[in-house]
Amino acid sequence: MNDNLEQMLIQDENLTDRSPFLKLRRWQWWLLVAINILFLIAGQAAAVLLGRFYYDQGGNSTWMATFVQTAGFPILCIPLIFLHPSQKLETSTSSTYPSIKIVALLYFVLGLLVAGDNMLYSVGLLYLSASTYSLICATQLAFNAVFSYLLNSQKLTALILNSVVILSLSAALIAVNEDSDGPSGVSKGKYLVGFICTLGASALYSLLLSLMQLSFQKVLRKETYNVVLEMQIYTSLVATCVSTAGMFGSGEWKGLQDEMKGFKSGRVSYVLTLVWTAVSWQVCTVGVVGLIFAVSSLFSNVISTLSLAITPLAALLVFHDEMNRVKVIAMLLALCGFCSYIYQNYLDDTKARKSESQSHTDDVIRESHHV
């Protein structure tokens, strides 16, 4: 009985925090969703392209590339500041909210994982072209299905399994592609290291998503807009501190001044590249969080994966990456896997809406009989 009451209170808190979305007209809601999709896709694509530009122009610090992925986290404080005061108070005073020590430990562990994940992505992008990197990253949807099944009790339907197989095949094609177009001077061995690091980063990112979802369900006991923002801010703070420590511990900071001097497009371009990379990642994060609460976390992850499948086209225009037949087939397979996954999401959403509608009808019938 107490568990049911507690669950109802949590649901009420979530509904209260989502109420601004519920009050929007349909066209306003679609506009909000479109804006957040634009933030996510544009932010992620720009961050990947700027990261590749940093390496192409003479940057070689993987710790710096890792640092900028989370260093712009103060930007996330802007939407947090504009939240209603009662919503902030609710987070800190809720009887279901865990102790500060537990929350701090949770954020610290997740922050360490975020830092490790960002480092793997940085090494992967160092040895791969932007298009190849993005196509491999698209496998995160397949890993997400597996980890969601193991940790979040998500069902593995035929469509999801089909998506996993197709995305795995897409990554396999990239791995065995003899005409791989890695950056100039990158050997086959380094290309393989980049492939493994990017694949590992995609798996770790999907694991992080499932662990965060589990944290909302089992530890924080709520998933309101400000709670998710706070998790993003504090885990990014930890990851940024780890990246800074890694930069000084490895001695890479000593070469940053020479790196700036030797940057092909100039010192100003060097600084602007790092700044806009950091900003782009946070714009992407704003889109991710916005889609989670305007639609769902699954939809947000699907759009993120779609962006990774589209980025190769942007890389083709910006860096003139070679799109050989194998990479074209891999991109088409990634899009097919995406469609299979989102169609399952559509079926689940339709079923949930019908169930909710039927439940509401049954409640009305019971009330009429009671009267």
Mean pLDDT computed over every residue of the chain: 79
pLDDT of residue 302: 72
pLDDT of residue 51: 92
pLDDT of residue 298: 63
- Residue 120 forms part of a structural domain: yes
The range of the structural domain enclosing residue 172 comes to: 57-275+309-361
- The answer to whether residue 200 scores a pLDDT higher than 90 is yes
Rounded CA-CA distance 68/126 in Å is: 15
pLDDT of residue 12: 44
User: How many domains does the chain divide into?
Assistant: 1
**What sign has the CA pseudo-torsion 160, 165, 166, 172?**
positive
pLDDT of residue 92: 43
Question: Among the listed ranges 60-69, 116-125, 233-242, 306-315, which one has the minimum average pLDDT value?
Answer: 306-315
Rounded CA-CA distance 221/133 in Å is: 36
pLDDT of residue 209: 81
- Residue 336 forms part of a structural domain: yes
Mean pLDDT of 10-19: 46
- Residue 154 forms part of a structural domain: yes
Rounded CA-CA distance 62/30 in Å is: 39
Mean pLDDT of 229-246: 93
Could you tell me the pLDDT band of residue 89, with boundaries at 50, 70 and 90?
Answer: very low
- Residue 260 forms part of a structural domain: yes
pLDDT of residue 363: 61
Is the model more confident about 86 or about 208? 208
pLDDT of residue 362: 61
Q: How many CB atoms lie within 10 A of CB 1?
A: 5
Mean pLDDT of 129-136: 82
- Residue 21 forms part of a structural domain: no
How does DSSP assign 264-318, residue by residue? TT-HHHHHHHHHHHHHHHHHHHHHHHHHHHHT-HHHHHHHHHHHHHHHHHHHHHH
pLDDT of residue 82: 72
- Residue 296 forms part of a structural domain: no
- Residue 12 forms part of a structural domain: no
Rounded CA-CA distance 8/214 in Å is: 18
- Residue 268 forms part of a structural domain: yes
Could you tell me the pLDDT band of residue 327, with boundaries at 50, 70 and 90?
Answer: confident
pLDDT of residue 23: 58
This prediction's pTM: 0.80
Rounded CA-CA distance 323/320 in Å is: 9
